[in-house]
Amino acid sequence: MEMASSNPRSVEEIFKDYSGRRNGLIRALTNDVDNFYALCDPERENLCLYGHPDDSWEVTLPAEEVPPELPEPALGINFARDGMNRKDWLSLVAVHSDSWLLSVAFYLGARFNRNERKRLFSMINDLPTVFEVVTDRKQAKEKSGVDGGSRSKHSTKRSSDGQFKSSKAAEEVYGEEEDEHSETLCGICGSNYNADEFWIGCDICERWFHGKCVKITPAKAESIKQYKCPSCSGSKRSRQ
């Protein structure tokens, strides 16, 4: 692998490094997938998938030096190849690749201040993850932020006029009414509303909840026509 630069790096330089590595990993798992699959022979030693800043990729043994110059990707991806469905295996490699990309980016930006880290993550977060590209989930993720018949959608929140808007639209239209939004509390943990998190509203009691608090993901919310929170579901059962 290439050596990490000892010189300070800007947010833009690290993002360029991230983008190049990401492009290489996506190419390995999409356009060059047959070649990548063949290189991951389970009979070989522990192998890693590297993405390089020049948009290239490489399947090779991990770095020998300890500790390594940069964080290392998942070790031994080849061992699980023949024991899993091909699509599932590629998805697993993609998830580990996303984790590695973030670890490298924030390793290189370890000396950044809070605002620089936030700007770097914001730039990274604007791109689809490797997992989303490989599994073709980018479109589904974007769709989950669009209003539909149910209020159980990704990052949706009730506005003052009773309509439901995506968090981005709410920020644009009601940016000056943040205090009003902050009054919405999660019905489980009691935390304030945050547009950066996934929330879901109960269609019965009209309370709002963190998706993680009620174990509902954005993908699962897409299939729910009418969401009932745990309390409302329990009340219905108790009356039966």
Q: What is the mean pLDDT of residues 53-73?
A: 91
Domain annotation covers residue 171: no
Q: How does pLDDT run across 25-35, given as a tens digit for each residue?
A: 999 999 999 99
Domain annotation covers residue 80: yes
Q: How does pLDDT run across 159-168, given as a tens digit for each residue?
A: 333 333 344 4
pTM: 0.57
Domain annotation covers residue 38: yes
Domain annotation covers residue 107: yes
Q: What is the mean pLDDT of residues 87-101?
A: 96
Q: Which two tokens stand for residue 19?
A: 């983008």
Q: Distance between terminal CA atoms of the chain?
A: 64
Q: What is the mean pLDDT of residues 9-16?
A: 92
Q: Beta partners for 200?
A: 209
Q: Is the pLDDT confidence value at 174 over 60?
A: no
Assess whether 44 and 126 both reside in one domain. yes
Contact 20, 55 (CB under 8 A): yes
- Angle, CA 31 vertex, CA 99 and CA 23 arms, to 5°: 40
Q: How does pLDDT run across 111-167, given as a tens digit for each residue?
A: 999 999 999 999 999 999 999 999 986 544 444 444 443 444 444 443 333 333 344
Domain boundary among 116, 137, 158: 137
Domain of residue 195, CATH code: 3.30.40.10
Q: What pLDDT is attached to residue 235?
A: 54
Enclosing domain of residue 191: 184-235
Asked if residue 71 has a cis previous peptide bond (ω within 30° of 0), the answer is no
Q: What pLDDT is attached to residue 218?
A: 85
Domain annotation covers residue 173: no
Domain annotation covers residue 106: yes
